[in-house]
Amino acid sequence: MTPSVATQVTAAPADPTRPARRPRLRWVLLAVGLAAALALPWFVYPPVAMDIVALALFAIALDILLGYTGLLSFGHAAFWGSSAYVTGLIATHYGVPFPVAVLGGAVFAMILALPIGYVSVRRSGIYFAMVTLAFAQMVYFIGYRWSDLTGGENGLQGVPRTFFGIELVETESFYFYYAALPILLLGMWAAWRIVHSPFGRVLVAIRDNSQRARALGYEVEKYKVIAFVLSAGLTGLAGGVFAINHGFVALTELHWSTSGEVVLMTVLGGIGTLWGGTIGAFLNVMLADYLASSGFHGIDLITGTVFVLVVLLFRRGIWGTVRNRWLARQQRRTSSRRGPADADG
């Protein structure tokens, strides 16, 4: 088997005369990303900026399954929407600070994901996707029929933004952005820790060759269930903040199209790259917002065309293609420096 570019670069012996660049680049990217998150509501309407960050965490959570475990879920709208409803209900009926309500929604999403994941991970490929889609449609039907609790087609309205005794009304969306941003950034940090931990390396091993991982003694189904539940919990954080941001929860948050949209965002940015979900969410929200504000009809047609063109031009997604090209260039530069030295030796 021919090793990938990333594997070749990692396996190359380090030059003691040169400082390691990848850790330095990683810190630079983190600093740029944090600065962009802090500055975003100054350049974008704050509720739209909040949607971007929430959907970015949603895409990152899905990528834990799709990019790092090799499981394509078409049912993550169940966790996104159910957390949004539970968050809204807690905030409305108990008047607790919205971070507490969001945490409650995330916990509910994880509890819901446990039986769904336990049944779903026993299938793989398209069968796993269809099982998760079926469960998500069941949750959608429950939300539709349980109208006394969810509001049915009218949705759950009037979700408050209480922040430790302070009511952040709709006109204070700018302040709400900075109050909710730490929750989403904490979720992104948790996702980064998951995929860069020994647990995350096992997930990658399962993705690459589940039979070999099982032969090495790893309980493959157990790891998949844990990854599924963790992904649902991070999705729940994002869905809860999304509900508080809008002050309203609609049935569309539980619909299968929401699952398809986040899959598109993840693929657009690049699967297996946490930065890819952020880029995909940013492009998706900004393009839809620009077309809507321009009064253009047929938004889905334009966004679909743009997605097709991007996928054709960037075979591994935008960030994935950029990263692979950078790694390939670094490999060529390393090889050119080592060549003369090897010849002299």
pLDDT digit string (tens) for 276-288? 889 989 988 888 8
Does 209 fall in a domain?
A: yes
Does 188 fall in a domain?
A: yes
- What pLDDT score does 30 carry? 85
- Compute the distance between CA of residue 232 and CA of residue 191 in angstroms, rounded to an integer: 11
Does 52 fall in a domain?
A: yes
Place of tokens 């394509």: 72
State the DSSP code for 345. Answer: -
- What pLDDT score does 22 carry? 61
The answer to whether 246 and 47 have CB atoms below 8 angstroms apart is yes
- What pLDDT score does 315 carry? 75
- What pLDDT score does 1 carry? 38
Task: State the pLDDT confidence band at 13, using cuts at 50, 70 and 90.
Answer: very low
Does 202 fall in a domain?
A: yes
Whole-prediction pTM value? 0.87
Does 86 fall in a domain?
A: yes
Does 284 fall in a domain?
A: no
Mean pLDDT, residues 206-235: 94
Domain that holds residue 106: 43-255
- What pLDDT score does 325 carry? 79
The answer to whether 195 and 69 have CB atoms below 8 angstroms apart is no
- Compute the distance between CA of residue 78 and CA of residue 75 in angstroms, rounded to an integer: 6
- What pLDDT score does 125 carry? 85
The answer to whether 210 and 193 have CB atoms below 8 angstroms apart is no
One DSSP character per residue, 38-69 reads HHHHHHS-HHHHHHHHHHHHHHHHHHHHHTTT
Does 89 fall in a domain?
A: yes
Does 210 fall in a domain?
A: yes
Position 261, amino acid: E
Task: Please tell me the total count of domains within the chain.
Answer: 1
% of the chain surpassing 90 pLDDT:
53
